[in-house]
Amino acid sequence: MIRILALAVAALATALPAHAQKKYGPGVSDAEIRIGQTMPYSGPASAYGVIGKSQKAFFDMVNEQGGINGRKINFISLDDGYNPARTVEQTRRLVEQENVLLLFQSLGTPTNSAIHKYVNARKVPHVLIATGASKWADPKNYPWTMGFNPSYQVEARIYAQHILKTAPNAKIAVLYQNDDFGKDYVVGLKSGLGAKASMIVREVSYEVSDPTVDSQVVDLRGSGADVLLTFATPKFAAQAIRKVGDLGWKPTHYLTVVSASVGAVLQPAGLDKATGLITALYLVDPTDPEASKLAGMKAWGEWMQKYNKGADPNDQFHVNAYAAAWLLTEILKACGDDLTRENVMKQAASLKDVQIPVVIPGIRVNTTASDFATFGEMQLGRFDGKRWVPFGELLSGR
């Protein structure tokens, strides 16, 4: 009997290491993990190119500190000029020529749309991509694609919640850009309001080709609304804020986080007119005097100084880049020695209450096999004339 037990124990003992044996997908060896990315280093969206460079600096730090479970990150970031045709070419190069394990933070909605089918047919992890469209969280049809930014719909539902809580009898007006970006927000807003969607008294759209949105704003004011939501890209958001101020209209004004840049939107619109605007935040603002007290932001500051020299420390893009790269290293650490493409997706889809050090404390990443929306909570912030000041509790838009 004892002998049988001993045999069983011995069998178990030999079985265990077999289970923990190394399993490698493409681009992985004992020494390195290859990951790929497309980024607009040139072209109309080249302002975003700093994200790719910043992430290179992040992986430099990871590698200098010994890599992930002893493996160095070989980060291959290629220019696609924000041209979907080149995204296809460069992505195929990454997958078929460079043999990368996964694609990480490829940037842009039209560009990622162009490779959506390809990566899913090839079963290449296409994770933490840099766009907020809700279509990336569709694990049923596209189990290999996962976004990083909070989805536009999540953000809109948070505004809806706040309105229901603070002004349940409000009359709501909506200004949105007539494309999938703007429409995503309107869908989210209506689902957030639920049965009370009739609170929306007027919704008006504009085209990216329109010279101004002045007439739309006048139209919205005429509806008698006392709450305004502006789902517009930076140029049009600035025009809307200015026009609302010029008209002497004083609605509670919510602004999409896409256009929350102080330098690019609020200053041109007029800081006095922008005061009182509300938006939803998820990253720590590096210009916030409180920020440097957070341990995560301290580490971020040291990394900026040592590895990302010459970059603007007030630029939120570096916080964004750091947050996504940090999350990827967590996923890869969780993979252990099973670095197959299947396991990468499995680990990416089982993040539980992960607090990214440069994300506002309390906002945690949660994913499951059936829900790929990384962020569910956001923090409302109000513009005080200088910067966005967080207020109230975290709200959930899941």
Partner 1 sequence: MPLLPKIAPAPLEPTLGRAAMVVLLLAVLCVLPFVLSDYRTFQLTQAVIYAVVLLGLNILTGYNGQISLGHGAFFAIGAYTAAILMDRWGVPYWATLPAAGAVCFCFGFAFGLPALRLQGHYLALATFALAVATPQILKYRKLEDFTGGVQGIVIMKPDAPAGLPLSQDQWLYLFTLAVAALLFLAAWNLLRGRVGRALVALRDHPLAAESMGINGSLYKTTAFGVSALYTGVGGALGAIAVQFVAPDSFLPFLSISFLVGITVGGLATVSGALWGALFIVYLPNWADEISKSAPWAIYGAILLVLVYLMPGGVAWMLPRAWALVLRRIRSRGGAGPGA
Placement of tokens 């010279």 in the chain: 211
State the nearest-atom distance from the C-beta of 126 to partner 1, in Å: 15
Span from 1-9, 72-80, 239-247, 373-381 in contact with partner 1 (CB under 8 A): 72-80
> In angstroms, rounded to a whole number, what is the distance separating the alpha carbons of residues 234 and 213?
12
Binding status of residue 235 toward partner 1 by CB under 8 A: no
Letters for 115-144 (x = contact with partner 1 by CB under 8 A, - = none) are -xxx--------------------------
- Name the maximum alpha-carbon separation found in the chain: 90
For residue 270, the 8-state DSSP code is -
| Residues in Cβ contact with 24 at an 8 Å cutoff, skipping those fewer than 6 apart | 339, 340
Binding status of residue 307 toward partner 1 by CB under 8 A: no
Nearer to partner 1, 133 or 193 (CB): 133
**Among 4, 18, 19, 44, which residue interacts with partner 1 (rule: CB under 8 A)?**
44
State the nearest-atom distance from the C-beta of 131 to partner 1, in Å: 12
Angle at which helix 316-335 crosses helix 295-307, to 10 degrees, equals 100
Amino acid letter for position 348 = A
> In angstroms, rounded to a whole number, what is the distance separating the alpha carbons of residues 148 and 145?
10
> In angstroms, rounded to a whole number, what is the distance separating the alpha carbons of residues 353 and 265?
33
Binding status of residue 209 toward partner 1 by CB under 8 A: yes
Binding status of residue 49 toward partner 1 by CB under 8 A: yes
| DSSP secondary structure, 14-42, as one string | HHHHHHT--EE-TTB-SSEEEEEEEE-SS
Binding status of residue 147 toward partner 1 by CB under 8 A: no
> In angstroms, rounded to a whole number, what is the distance separating the alpha carbons of residues 214 and 43?
29
**Among 37, 54, 55, 83, which residue interacts with partner 1 (rule: CB under 8 A)?**
83
Binding status of residue 246 toward partner 1 by CB under 8 A: no
Binding status of residue 178 toward partner 1 by CB under 8 A: yes
Rg (CA), the chain: 23
The 3-class SS string of 65-100 reads CCCECCEEEEEEEEECCCCHHHHHHHHHHHHHHCCC
Nearer to partner 1, 89 or 330 (CB): 89
Binding status of residue 93 toward partner 1 by CB under 8 A: yes
**Among 26, 63, 67, 79, which residue interacts with partner 1 (rule: CB under 8 A)?**
79
Binding status of residue 242 toward partner 1 by CB under 8 A: no
Q: Is residue 46 within 8 Å of residue 309, measured between CB atoms?
A: no
Span from 94-102, 149-157, 299-307, 315-323 in contact with partner 1 (CB under 8 A): 94-102
Binding status of residue 279 toward partner 1 by CB under 8 A: no
> In angstroms, rounded to a whole number, what is the distance separating the alpha carbons of residues 388 and 279?
8
State the nearest-atom distance from the C-beta of 78 to partner 1, in Å: 6
Binding status of residue 286 toward partner 1 by CB under 8 A: no
User: How many residues make contact with partner 1 (CB under 8 A)?
Assistant: 40
Binding status of residue 325 toward partner 1 by CB under 8 A: no
> In angstroms, rounded to a whole number, what is the distance separating the alpha carbons of residues 324 and 345?
16
Amino acid letter for position 351 = L
Interface with partner 1 in residues 189-208 (CB under 8 A): 207-208
Interface with partner 1 in residues 148-177 (CB under 8 A): none
Q: Which residues bind partner 1 (CB under 8 A)?
A: 41-44, 49, 52-53, 56, 77-79, 81-86, 88-90, 92-93, 95-97, 109-111, 113-114, 116-118, 178-181, 207-209
